[in-house]
Chains A and B, each alone.
Chain A
Amino acid sequence: MPTEIIDQDFENMPVGQEEKTTVKKGKKPIFIFAGIFGGLLVLLLAAAIFLSFQQGQPTTEIETKPTPTPTPEFKEEIIPPSPYATDAAILKMEEEIKSLDQGLTSTDLKESGLNPPVLEMKIQFEI
Chain B
Amino acid sequence: MKKYCLPTIFISTLLFFYSFTLVHAQEFNFNRAYNDYLFNYNQYRQSYSEYVAARESYLTYKTLTSKNLALEKTSKMLKDEDEVIHTYLTALRMKLVETTGISNDEQNILYLKLDSEVAWYGKHQEGLSSAATLEDLVDSAKKVADKYQTTEILIYQTLGTILSGKEINFRDQLNNKIQQFKEKIGEIRQRGDKDTALAERWLLEAENRLTRSQEKQFTAQQILAKIKSSDVNKNQSYNKAQFALEESHQYLKEANSYLKEVIREIKSAN
Q: Is the CB of A121 within 8 A of B268?
A: no
Closest to A84 in B: B266
Chain B residues near A85: list those with CB within 8 A.
Answer: 267-268
Q: What CA separation (Å) do A102 and B252 show in the bound complex?
A: 12
Give residues 43-75 of B contacting A (CB, 8 Å).
44, 48, 51, 55, 58-59, 70, 74
Smallest Cβ-Cβ distance to B167: which chain A residue = A109
Give Cα A90 to B48, complex, Å.
Answer: 61
Q: Which residue of A lies closest to B137 (CB)?
A: A123
Is A11 an interface residue when CB atoms closer than 8 A count as contact?
A: no
Pick the residue among B84, B134, B264 that contacts A125 (CB under 8 A). B134
Complex CA–CA separation, A84 to B74 (angstroms):
73
Q: How large is the interface on A (under 10, 10 to 19, 20 to 34, 35 or more residues)?
A: 35 or more
Contact A116 B152 (CB under 8 A): yes
Size class of B's contact patch? 35 or more
Measured CB to CB, the nearest residue on chain A to B58 is A125
Q: Mark B130-173, 1 if CB is under 8 A from A, else 0.
A: 00001001100100110010001001100100110010001001
> Which residues of B (223-261) have their CB < 8 Å from a CB of A?
235, 242, 245-246, 249, 252-253, 256-257, 259-260
Chain B 94-107, CB-CB to A under 8 Å as 1, else 0, gives: 01000000000000
A119 & B268 in contact (Cβ 8 Å cutoff): no
In the complex, what residues of B have CB within 8 A of residue A116's CB? 88, 152, 155-156, 235
How many Å lie between the Cα of A15 and that of B186 in the bound state?
124
| CB-nearest residue of chain B to A126 | B59
How many Å from the CB of B40 to the closest CB on chain A? 9
7 interchain pairs (CB within 8 A)? A90-B184, A101-B257, A111-B95, A117-B41, A117-B88, A123-B141, A125-B58
Which 3 A-B pairs rank lowest in CB-CB distance, beginning with the nearest? A121-B145, A78-B268, A85-B267
